[in-house]
């Protein structure tokens, strides 16, 4: 696992690096400056990002939150001071763990494991939500297409569904794709020139 430590304070970065190496993480990269941060992160391509901010200004925090929004990686953020709005913004930005006044090398392994675990759990929930939304949209399209077929051919719901299913099988597409194509074609035919 490649871990990137972002910290402008070289002493704090070395404490974090030492804790990581003692915990068995040997592929550790350190960034001591935040200029052109996104390009550097892309170049390093880490599996986990740990950001250590001593007393972050709003600009630095916003920059770090921008990174966490843009990079689909587990991110752990260490800060010395915090308030409720900073925590809320960090969570909204996708920071997996937010540790206030907690930089001790003996805690590093547990923090990395928690960061990865929370990131994976959150991503699983995001995928499930996206799948559920897609299924709902598919269901709506199928229902709408069935209604169109029922009206057009004066048939019942089972027959309309059978027509959609047969068309999907003939075209090696999903029923939802056929339903959406039917809805799109009907909208095009109903348009007046």
pLDDT for residue 116:
92
CATH 1.10.10.10 positions along the chain are 128-190
Is the torsion defined by CA of 181, 182, 184, 185 positive or negative? positive
Q: Does the pLDDT value for residue 191 go beyond 80?
A: no
Report which of residues 85 and 45 the model is more confident about. 45
The fourth-level CATH superfamily of domain 2-103 is Response regulator (3.40.50.2300)
pLDDT for residue 53:
76
Contact between 65 and 87 (Cβ < 8 Å): no
pLDDT for residue 155:
96
- CA distances 112 to 28, 72, 78, 79, 145, Å, are 12, 16, 12, 15, 49
In percent, how much of the chain has pLDDT > 70?
92
CATH 3.40.50.2300 positions along the chain are 2-103
Q: Indicate the class that CATH gives domain 128-190.
A: mainly alpha
| This prediction's pTM | 0.71
Lowest mean pLDDT among 82-86, 127-131, 185-189: 82-86
Partners of 27 in the β-ladder:
2
The chain-wide mean pLDDT, for the chain, equals: 87
If you compute the radius of gyration of the chain from its CA atoms, what whole number of angstroms results?
A: 25
Report which of residues 147 and 66 the model is more confident about. 147
Question: How does pLDDT run across 33-84, given as a tens digit for each residue?
Answer: 877 878 888 889 999 999 887 665 666 667 767 777 777 889 888 887 777 8
Tokens of 51: 């950001």
Question: How does pLDDT run across 100-129, given as a tens digit for each residue?
Answer: 876 677 788 888 999 999 999 999 999 999
Mean pLDDT of 8-25: 88
């Amino acid at each position: 696992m490649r871990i990137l430590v972002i910290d402008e304070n070289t002493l704090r970065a070395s404490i974090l690096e030492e804790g990581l190496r003692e915990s068995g993480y040997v592929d550790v990269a350190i960034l001591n400056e935040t200029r052109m941060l996104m390009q550097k992160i892309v170049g390093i391509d880490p599996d986990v990002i740990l950001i250590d901010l001593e007393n972050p200004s709003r600009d630095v925090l916003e920059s770090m939150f921008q990174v966490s929004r843009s990079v689909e990686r587990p991110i752990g953020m260490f800060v010395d001071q915090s308030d409720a709005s900073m925590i809320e913004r960090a969570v909204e930005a996708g920071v997996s763990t937010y540790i206030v006044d907690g930089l001790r090398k003996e805690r590093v392994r547990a923090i990395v494991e928690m960061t990865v675990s929370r990131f994976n759990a959150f991503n699983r929930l995001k995928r499930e939500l996206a799948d559920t939304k897609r299924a709902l949209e598919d269901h709506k399209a199928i229902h709408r297409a069935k209604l169109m077929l029922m009206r057009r051919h004066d048939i019942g719901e089972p027959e309309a569904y059978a027509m959609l299913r047969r068309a999907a099988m003939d075209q090696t597409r999903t029923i939802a794709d056929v339903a959406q194509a039917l809805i799109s074609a009907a909208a095009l035919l109903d348009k007046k020139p």
